[in-house]
Amino acid sequence: MDFLVCKFGGSSVATSEKMKKIVSILKKNKNRRCVVLSAPGKAPGFNVKVTDLLIESAQKALNDQDYSATIQEIRSRFMAIYEPLGVPDDVQEQIYSEIDKRLQSPKDHEAKFRDLVVSAGEDINSKLFAQYLNTLGMNAQYVSPKDASLIVTDQFGDAQPLDEVAMRLASLKRICAEKIVIFPGFFGYTEKGEVATFSRGGSDLTGAILAEAIDAAEYENWTDVDGIFSAHPGIVDNPSQISALTYKEMRELSYIGFNVLHEEAVKPIMKKKIPIRLRNTNNIENKGTLIVSERLPNERDIIGVASGGGYCSFTLQKFLMNREKGFGRKTLSIIEDMDLSYEHCPSGVDNISVILDQTQLKAETVNNIIRAFDEQLTPEEIKTEFGIALVSLVGEGLIHKIGVLGQAATALSESGVNIKMVNQGSSEISIIFGIDASDEKKAVNALYNAFFIE
């Protein structure tokens, strides 16, 4: 049987009603046999995510402060979900005692301790949800990442799955054949048997790893939005929903502005070309957005317009720069030596610009960069600019379409947007424009109107 992996995010597991919705989703398709759960997120009356409460309690424990009120809040969150669902009190109590036990474990390695406590959110939720399904006679089984061998590196708080992890997890397929597997997201175990979490939002990655492991027919990622839109709904009114896009297009869209999936979640899926479908727990009828390795060429050439602010540029001007060997390399090694990453590096005959995410800079870093450029590269001029927004036109079809750049530039100029930089990577999957941050909304609307409104 071709099983589906279904991952439900924090907002989809935040109330009893949402849990009931998950049950009806599982009942609708009997191939939905591998379920990954996040910890409960925000819900009406609860404006803090369980994961954040756990982080708070771990910090209090590390500071030797009283954490009992925070623990009580976490228990109440779970009780508000599972009591109305009829999970017996004694079963609940037994599972909640896990939190106290974890908080009393050794604290000599802070990050390790934090991961042990913080992962309790998904772990408890998955145990209780499996209990709930069993009270409904749905034959579910909680599977621990330890028993399943989800082995990760020991970078606590930012663990990575080991390369061969999917192979080790293959036995899950056998369990899926008999039962509905309920698997906690967000963490795995190191080779020494210690809990280590992925970075925030990491349950997406767990879902992707399981999809690879069981050769899933599809990886369904359930959240509270219908899917991916061609532009951000906060910027463009009623943008169209994208029915299908490729992994590469999604990567380009989420590089700036689109918060779609955890960045690392696509890697395990890409290897086996497993489609990902983003779906809305609150709108089951909507088919969501499908992310695939290839899409039909006759579908839209351009799939979306993404944007994001908070970038800055350093531009170096030097006569005969084009003849000076190693100028580009030296420019970028200065950035690397300061432990910074760069986004783009457009260049002209006698000038080169480096575009950086300005959130990684401190005031003194800017001066240090300028000084290093000046001393090591002796340019005639160094110009800095802050508050740049990047606007990106994305689509696999760009490669064979003539005149997109011209059409985009015309749309931007007609709406009075000054283009500071253009970057079209050689993959020709996106064209990125650097503009003044104050023009971001205007620019996105201009491009959306030019390419999406017929």
78 touches ligand ASP (CB under 6 A): no
Indicate the residue among 10 and 434 with the shorter CB distance to ligand ASP. Answer: 10
Q: Select the span of 195-203, 379-387, 388-396, 409-417 touching ligand ASP (CB under 6 A).
A: 195-203
Which residue in the block uniquely carries the two structure tokens 């340019």?
379
Query: How many helices and strands (H and E) does the chain possess?
Result: 16, 16
Continuous segment of H or E residues that includes residue 275: none
Rounded to whole angstroms, the Cα distance separating 77 from 403 reads: 55
Window contacting ligand ASP (CB under 6 A); options: 97-105, 197-205, 264-272, 417-425: 197-205
Tell me: does residue 188 bind ligand ASP (CB under 6 A).
Answer: no
Specify the residue, 38 or 126, whose C-beta has the smaller distance to ligand ASP: 38
The single residue listed with the structure tokens 């606007």 is: 391
- Shortest distance in whole angstroms from residue 205 CB to ligand ASP: 8
Q: Looking at beta carbons only, is 121 or 304 nearer to ligand ASP?
A: 121
Judging by beta carbons within 10 Å of its beta carbon (0-12, 13-18, 19+), is residue 138 exposed, middle or buried?
middle
Minimum CB–partner distance for residue 201 and ligand ASP (Å): 4
Q: Which of 161, 185, 227, 346 is in the footprint of ligand ASP by CB under 6 A?
A: 185
Backbone angles phi, psi at 179, to 5 degrees: -140, 170
Q: Which x/- pattern over 134-173 shows residues binding ligand ASP (rule: CB under 6 A)?
A: ----------------------------------------
Instruction: Rule CB under 6 A: say whether 202 interacts with ligand ASP.
Output: yes
Stretch that binds ligand ASP, among 105-113, 194-202, 269-277, 391-399 (CB under 6 A): 194-202
Number of residues binding to ligand ASP, judged by CB under 6 A = 13
Q: Which is nearer to ligand ASP, 161 or 201 (CB)?
A: 201
Instruction: Give, for 390, the enclosing helix (H) or strand (E).
Output: strand 381-394
At its nearest, how many Å lie between ligand ASP and the CB of residue 178? 27
Please pick, from the candidates 8, 132, 186, 448, the single residue that binds ligand ASP as defined by CB under 6 A: 186
The residues in 93-132 that bind ligand ASP, with binding defined as CB under 6 A, are 121
Element spanning 1, H or E:
none
The least distance separating ligand ASP from the CB of residue 10, rounded to whole angstroms, comes to 5
3-class SS at 184? Answer: strand
Is residue 39 a contact point for ligand ASP (CB under 6 A)? Answer: yes
- The verdict on 38 binding ligand ASP (CB under 6 A) reads yes
Q: Which of 341-370 are b and which e, b meaning 16 or more Cβ less than 10 Å from the residue's Cβ?
A: ebbbebbeebbbbbbbbbeebeeeebeebe
Q: Which residues pair with 317 in a beta bridge?
A: 351, 381
Contact pick of 12, 15, 51, 223 for ligand ASP (by CB under 6 A)? 51
Q: Which of 20, 200, 330, 344 touches ligand ASP by CB under 6 A?
A: 200
Residue 21: name the closest of 175, 217, 223 by CA. 223
The residues, any chain, with a CB within 8 Å of residue 131's CB and separated by 6 or more, are: 82, 87, 88, 91
10 near ligand ASP, judged by CB under 6 A: yes
Q: Is 273 left (phi over 0), alpha (psi -120 to 50) or beta?
A: left
Q: Which residues contact 388 (CB under 8 A, 6 or more apart)?
A: 309, 311, 312, 313, 355, 420, 421, 434, 435, 436, 437
* Local structure of residue 43 (DSSP, 8 states): B
Piece in contact with ligand ASP (CB under 6 A), picked from 21-29, 167-175, 198-206, 273-281? 198-206
For ligand ASP, the closer of residues 25 and 124 by Cβ is 124
For ligand ASP, the binding residues (CB under 6 A) are 9-10, 38-39, 49, 51, 121, 185-186, 200-203
